[in-house]
Structure 1
Amino acid sequence: MSIALIAGAGALPLALVEAARAAGAPRPFVAALDGFAPEGLAPDLTFRIERLYPFFAALHERGVTRIAFAGAVRRPRLDPALFDPLTAGIVPRLMATLAQGDDATLREVIALFEEDGFAILGAGEVAPALLPPEGVLAGRITPRDQQDAARAALIVSALGRVDVGQGCVVQQGLCLGAETLAGTDAMLAGVAALPQDLRPDPAGGRGLLFKAPKPLQDRRIDLPALGVQSVRNAARAGLGGIAWEAGGTLCLDLPAMRAAAEETGLFLWSRPPGTGA
């Protein structure tokens, strides 16, 4: 067994395991951070940050050489009584990066795994089917949608450079919401709750949800993700569709997403990277 999946909360870890299985690849060894169990997937091992080096040793004992990350993890509360001597030695290093933001923390996590001899894979390398090709995959887009997507790409790029979010909602050039720590669903709920007099006339374009990686992030970890619930929440927010950066955004169940988009009248657009950002 050579690949381990470091799983966080949410549906992404299971989607990645199922996509790998459908491609004929062996099931990865699944390790979950304590307190952040994935949905519908029983981990083979649960670990704590305070005992990171014993966790590394357990992976080596199982023949793991490659690591992929998937799922949501918030910054855990550390218990000083649980540290082993080796992990205690890197506490200052971890605390320094935690103060710098999510991107710096994730880069440090990757560095720690690599220093212990593990190769880091992106989720798309484990399950390429989760990264749809470029193109309009449901519905149709208009020139107004193209303009809104270009505007949204600029906003997400600007926010990403200061390590804030991977998504926003734009309607007729106006930003109705930007993704923060609460995530995409919370942003869409906020857009749905906006008074109509704050939103443009939908006859001129219903707007869209756009998602893309942060410009400076390591794309082997924490790629933005979309699923069926994203489609349904975008419809509840009165939007016309969803666009994302092709090759940089994971779609957890594209057939189900397309079915939901057709049902709700939304478009799905896997947009070429670098256009308008």
Structure 2
Amino acid sequence: MGQTGSDARHALALSANDRIAVVAGSGLLPKEVADGLVKAGYRPLVVAIEGEADLEDEPSRYDFLRVTHEELGKLLSILKRRGVTHMVLAGGVARRPPLSTVRYSPKILLHLPRLAAGYARGDDGLLRAIAGFINSYGIKLVGAHEVVPELLAPQGQLTKMAPTRADERDISAAIAAARAIGRLDIGQAAVAVGGRTIALEDIEGTDGLLRRARVLRSHGRLAGKSRGVLVKCAKPGQELRVDLPTIGPQTVRDAHEAGLAGIAVEAERSLILECGETVRLADEFGLYLLGFARGREQ
């Protein structure tokens, strides 16, 4: 792939015999991962979850399989028969069908106690339990950034606009808040204005966080205050193979609508989708886009 720097450090060594499946949910990430693998000379198997993935069969570029939510319980058996050695989970899944409608393979019953224990430990505990279950089929769960490392946010300023000293105070406040909710396994993002955190990410995700930040602009002590920042960073101790903090063009649009001055993400532990367009939009709106070092504010 011709990687240098951080790309080379994160790239996964794959052989000609390896077979990669991209399990595609919603959003831009599945397409970015599939496109990156094709550019690198691989022919992935794209598994599109019905009602979630916005991907169609492209026989000239990759193999394709469409599955329903109810069929996910047997997916690993199907992938094993197709010779899959590595799996990437990419994109969101909004609908969770009743357990009684899901078709399970007999093997999953043996792992239910571990999966239940992982669920009780929160999102990251469940993800680790799922990774263990996938590995039991001889399939290795890998992160999107391991197969397409150019998705990782680099360190430093990416836009023409740079943060001011006041912006740096906002960034520090938001990083501290995002790390605090990350330790509680709640979310990965925070918004700060005027040196204070005003909103934290919850189950609504970053979209909901930025909607609330926009509404808060007209409330109380925030009325009349300008600028502010969205910060996203990985949870301390997070399972990095799934659900890395992610931004893209829509994040920039939403941040602009919320009246923010910029976005800061944790370098090499966050993803930037459609990076060229994301940076272009930030420049158009006069926002700064920054990748900060992992150790900042820890």
Verify same fold: TM over 0.5. yes
Deviation per CA, 1:242-272: give whole Å up to 9, x if none: 0000001111111101111111110000111
Match of 2:61 in 1: none
Match of 2:202 in 1: 180
How high is the sequence identity, in percent, across the aligned residues?
Answer: 35
1:197 aligned partner, one-letter code: G
What does residue range 88-127 of structure 1 map to in structure 2 within 5 Å? 88-127=109-148
Q: 2:158 aligns to what SS in structure 1?
A: strand
CA contact (8 A) 1:67 1:120 kept: yes
- Report the alpha carbon displacement of residue 46 of structure 1 after superposing the two structures with TM: 1.5
Regions of 4+ moved over 4 Å? 47-51
CA distance in structure 1 between the aligned counterparts of 2:35 and 2:22, rounded to whole angstroms = 12
CA distance in structure 2 between the aligned counterparts of 1:79 and 1:253, rounded to whole angstroms = 36
The answer to whether structure 1 residue 214 and structure 2 residue 235 are counterparts is yes
Match of 1:68 in 2: 88
Deviation per CA, 1:75-122: give whole Å up to 9, x if none: 723433633433234334333332332111111111111122112221
Residues paired across the two proteins, number: 272
Question: 1 or 2 for the larger relative contact order (CA 8 Å, sep ≥6)?
Answer: 1
Distance of aligned partners of 1:260 and 1:270 in 2 relative to their CA distance in 1, 3 Å threshold:
same
The answer to whether structure 1 residue 21 and structure 2 residue 38 are counterparts is yes
CA distance in structure 2 between the aligned counterparts of 1:264 and 1:73, rounded to whole angstroms = 31
Distance of aligned partners of 1:217 and 1:75 in 2 relative to their CA distance in 1, 3 Å threshold:
farther
Q: Pairwise CA RMSD of aligned residues?
A: 2.1
CA contact (8 A) 2:34 2:46 kept: no
CA contact (8 A) 2:124 2:238 kept: yes
CA distance in structure 2 between the aligned counterparts of 1:186 and 1:159, rounded to whole angstroms = 16
Distance of aligned partners of 1:246 and 1:121 in 2 relative to their CA distance in 1, 3 Å threshold:
same
2:275 aligned partner, one-letter code: L
CA distance in structure 2 between the aligned counterparts of 1:12 and 1:176, rounded to whole angstroms = 28
1:14 aligned partner, one-letter code: K
Match of 2:47 in 1: 31
- Report the alpha carbon displacement of residue 145 of structure 1 after superposing the two structures with TM: 1.7
CA distance in structure 2 between the aligned counterparts of 1:184 and 1:268, rounded to whole angstroms = 16
**1:12 aligns with one of 26, 29, 48:** 29
Deviation per CA, 1:136-156: give whole Å up to 9, x if none: 011111122222212211111
CA distance in structure 1 between the aligned counterparts of 2:109 and 2:70, rounded to whole angstroms = 10
1:124 aligned partner, one-letter code: H
- Structure 2: state its 5+ residue gaps: 1-17, 58-63
CA distance in structure 2 between the aligned counterparts of 1:242 and 1:224, rounded to whole angstroms = 12
CA distance in structure 2 between the aligned counterparts of 1:180 and 1:59, rounded to whole angstroms = 33
Match of 1:241 in 2: 262
CA contact (8 A) 1:131 1:251 kept: yes
- Report the alpha carbon displacement of residue 12 of structure 1 after superposing the two structures with TM: 1.1
**1:154 aligns with one of 176, 183, 188:** 176
Q: 2:192 aligns to what SS in structure 1?
A: strand
CA contact (8 A) 1:172 1:200 kept: no
1:134 aligned partner, one-letter code: Q
CA contact (8 A) 2:70 2:97 kept: no
- Report the alpha carbon displacement of residue 200 of structure 1 after superposing the two structures with TM: 6.5
- Report the alpha carbon displacement of residue 213 of structure 1 after superposing the two structures with TM: 0.9
What does residue range 251-266 of structure 1 map to in structure 2 within 5 Å? 251-266=272-287
CA distance in structure 2 between the aligned counterparts of 1:80 and 1:214, rounded to whole angstroms = 33
CA distance in structure 1 between the aligned counterparts of 2:286 and 2:129, rounded to whole angstroms = 42
Q: 2:186 aligns to what SS in structure 1?
A: coil
Distance of aligned partners of 1:235 and 1:66 in 2 relative to their CA distance in 1, 3 Å threshold:
same
TM-score normalized by the length of structure 2: 0.84
CA contact (8 A) 1:171 1:200 kept: no
2:176 aligned partner, one-letter code: L
- Structure 1: state its 5+ residue gaps: none
TM-score normalized by the length of structure 1: 0.90
